[in-house]
Chains A and B, each alone.
Chain A
Amino acid sequence: MSEVAGMTEMKISEHAELAAERKAGDEKTLFGFWLYIMTDCVLFASLFATYAVLHNNTYGGPDGSKLFDSGSVLTETLILLTSSFTCGLAMLAARARKKRQVIGWFIVTGLLGLAFLGIEIHEFIGLVNSANSWRRNGFLSAFFTLVGTHGTHITIGLLWMSAMIIKVFKTGLSRATIRRLSMLSYFWHFLDIVWIFIFTVVYMLGMR
């Protein structure tokens, strides 16, 4: 065995063992992140429970059917769904070690996420300006808390996504980076799944 400037030679079997160990470690890390996602679901459950209890407490004010715009709700839902799909495409590219495609698809995912956020913020501003802020009644209090918490998660996801895009651009697709991208994709898919229920329970049932 020769040592060259600090680098040592390993046998192929030692490489395989090390790679297998690291892969098992990655598997555990991903499971740990899944566990966090499960707890985040319980958090959203408590916000849904609050909304379910308070959704009729309008204190004489307008309810969902008068406050929600079905067109923009459908639009933002389809946008977020598409971003979940493009996130999946980005992960396929990551597994195929195609760095440029990873960056490209995550940029698309991020832009769609930004569009979703834009529509949602526009809706919030409209509500606040029409004297329908969270201060008006229990219904709106619960609405802004639930939908706002989801929007906050989206914002954090977008910040994380920007950081990962820059990381991949600068240092490529190492195993650690792919592991982190996997966690980001879990997070992003989970946010779309939570939105399915917000779309259904808050908007669809609120507008009937």
Chain B
Amino acid sequence: MASNKDYVIPEPEKESGSLPSYVFGFASSIILTLVAYFLAVKHTFNGYTLITVLVELAIVQFVVQLFFFLHFGKGKSAGFKLLTLVLMIFFVIVVVLGSIWIMSNLNYNMSPKHINQYMLQQSAEGF
């Protein structure tokens, strides 16, 4: 006799991680966080070098947590998850880099000097 509610067939769980993978993910993330923190606070690098290094550390930690905490790549819909992840990253890059580029361009082209130049040019052309 059985209820049709939640009879569970014992089965090896392929989608979950294991304790060693969580511990490795945790330890790596701590190290990456501390490295980023001390590089920033001790001013080890300057300007664009620092930005690059910190962003790279963040991306590495993101990938670590993606694989060791979120178990990305396991499970039956792993292919679909990859596709949607890539699409999301594409949108993120377009939104972030696009906004920075456009606003920086506007900021430059609409400075008083450029506006004056433009208006002088326009009035010289008879507008």
Name the contact of B29 in the complex, choosing from A39, A81, A95 (C-beta under 8 A). A81
CB-based nearest B residue for A19: B9
B124 proximal to A (CB < 8 A): no
In the bound complex, do residue B65 and residue A189 qualify as a contact, i.e. CB atoms below 8 Å apart?
yes
CB-based nearest B residue for A203: B40
Residues from chain A with Cβ under 8 Å of B6 in the complex: 174-176
In the bound complex, do residue A204 and residue B37 qualify as a contact, i.e. CB atoms below 8 Å apart?
yes
In the bound complex, do residue A42 and residue B95 qualify as a contact, i.e. CB atoms below 8 Å apart?
yes
A70 proximal to B (CB < 8 A): yes
Contact count band on B: 35 or more
In the bound complex, do residue B65 and residue A196 qualify as a contact, i.e. CB atoms below 8 Å apart?
yes
Residues of A within 8 A of B (CB): 4, 7-10, 15-16, 18-19, 24, 27-28, 30-31, 34-35, 38-39, 41-42, 45-46, 48-50, 52-53, 70, 74, 77-78, 81-82, 84-85, 88-89, 91-92, 95, 174-176, 186, 189-190, 192-193, 196-197, 199-201, 204-205, 207-208
Residues of B within 8 A of A (CB): 1-9, 13, 16-19, 22, 25-26, 29-30, 33, 36-37, 40-41, 43, 50-51, 54-55, 57-58, 61-62, 65-66, 69-70, 75-77, 80-81, 84-85, 87-88, 91-92, 95-96, 98-100, 103
